[in-house]
Amino acid sequence: MSKAIDKLQTALKAVREKTDFVPDIALVLGSGLGAYADSIKTVCEIPYSELPGFPVSTVQGHSGKFIFGYDGDKKIVCMKGRVHMYEGYEPSDVVMPIRLMKLMGAKILFLTNAAGGINENFHPGCLMLIEDQISFLVRNPLVGPNVEELGTRFPDMTHIYDESLSGIIIKTAEELNSELFKGVYVQLSGPSYESPADIKALRLLGGSAVGMSTAIEAIAARHAGMKVCGISVISNMAAGITGEELNHAEVQKAADSVSARFEELVKKSIAAF
C-alpha cells in the first residue's frame, strides 16, 4: 500500500470510531459560507484536529470540522472550513479531506468558495456556477506515487464539472429566480491577492473568477471517480477592476451578505440531485 493510502485509512478509522454515517454528498463550504451546515439535521461533528495526519486550517474564519447529517433525505458530509496551499501544505495534503470523504462513501463533491470576479459583467455578491477551471498555475495534487486504490495515474479531466449536476443547479437557480453566472475558475496559491496585471493575464487565459482553493480539490475528486460541481460566490471584483484595495475582512463580509441566497441555491440543488 502507498503511504498516502495508509494515512487515509488511519484517518478513516478515526472517523469510523466516532460515526458509521455513510454520506452520499460531500460539500465543501468556503470562507464565510458555513451557514448551510447549520441548516442540516446534524448526526455528528468531528473537528479536523481530532483526525490523525489531518491538515488543520490556521486561517481566521476557516474553523475546521466535518459535519455529518441529513438535508431532507440526502446524507451529507460538510467540510466547514478547508486548508489552503498558502498555509504551507503540499497540494496532496490539501486534498486529503476530499479523498477521505470519498472513502467515507461520498459519490458527489459540491465545491464552494469565495472568489474575485475577473469577468467585468460580474458584481460583488453574484454567484458563478463553475463550468471549468484553470489549475496549471498551481501544483497538481496528484504529483507523487499514484494512489492506485483511488484512481488511475493519468485521469481524464474533460468533464471535470459534471454536466448533469451543473444542469440541476442552473435549473434550480431559474426556479428560484436567482441570478447565476457561469464561468471558469482559476486557482492561484495566494496568499497575496493578485496584481491588476495578473488579473488581465488571467482574463486573457479565459478565467472568469480567481481564488485560492477548489481546482486541486476537483482534480483529486475526479481522480477518485467522484462527480464534481461547484459554485463561486463573487465576493469582490478582482484587483484593478474597481481600483479598490482588497482585504480578507471585506471578502468575508461580502460572502456573508450573499449567504442566504447562496444557501437556498445549494439546499434546493442538493434536494434535486
Cell 496549471: give the residue: 136
Q: Which of residues 84-123 bind ligand HPA (CB under 6 A)?
A: 114-116
Confirm whether 159 is a catalytic residue: no
Closer residue to ligand HPA in complex, CB, 112/172: 112
If DSSP states are collapsed to H, E and C, what string results for the chain?
CCHHHHHHHHHHHHHHCCCCCCCCEEEEECCCCHHHHHHCEEEEEEEHHHCCCCCCCCCCCCCCEEEEEEECCEEEEEEECCCCHHHCCCHHHHCHHHHHHHHHCCCEEEEEEEEEECCCCCCCCCEEEEEEEECCCCCCCCCCCCCCCCCCCCCCCCCCCCHHHHHHHHHHHHHCCCCCEEEEEEECCCCCCCCHHHHHHHHHHCCCEEECCCHHHHHHHHHCCCEEEEEEEEEEECCCCCCCCCCHHHHHHHHHHCHHHHHHHHHHHHHHC
- 207 makes contact with ligand HPA (CB under 6 A): no
**Interacting span for ligand HPA (CB under 6 A) from 12-20, 76-84, 96-104, 204-212:** 204-212
The alpha carbon torsion through 191, 193, 199, 201 (nearest 10 deg) reads: -40
Choose the catalytic residue: 92, 166, 208, 213: 213
Confirm whether 271 is a catalytic residue: no
Per CB under 6 A, the list member of 211, 214, 220, 226 interacting with ligand HPA is 211
Closer residue to ligand HPA in complex, CB, 92/235: 235
Minimum separation from the CB atom of position 90 to ligand HPA (A):
20
Per CB under 6 A, the list member of 194, 198, 256, 263 interacting with ligand HPA is 194
Choose the catalytic residue: 36, 37, 48, 62: 62
- 212 makes contact with ligand HPA (CB under 6 A): yes
**Interacting span for ligand HPA (CB under 6 A) from 3-11, 82-90, 102-110, 234-242:** 234-242
Minimum separation from the CB atom of position 134 to ligand HPA (A):
13
- 193 makes contact with ligand HPA (CB under 6 A): yes
Choose the catalytic residue: 36, 57, 79, 84: 84
Minimum separation from the CB atom of position 251 to ligand HPA (A):
5
Confirm whether 123 is a catalytic residue: no
Confirm whether 86 is a catalytic residue: yes
The whole-angstrom separation of Cα 27 and Cα 262 is: 13
> How many other C-beta atoms lie within 10 A of the C-beta of residue 91?
21
Confirm whether 36 is a catalytic residue: no
Per CB under 6 A, the list member of 12, 103, 246, 272 interacting with ligand HPA is 246
> Which residue type, as a one-letter code, is found at position 218?
A
List active site positions: 31, 62, 84, 86-87, 114, 212-213, 236, 248
Q: Which spans of this chain sit near ligand HPA (rule: CB under 6 A)?
A: 114-116, 193-194, 210-212, 235-236, 238, 246, 251
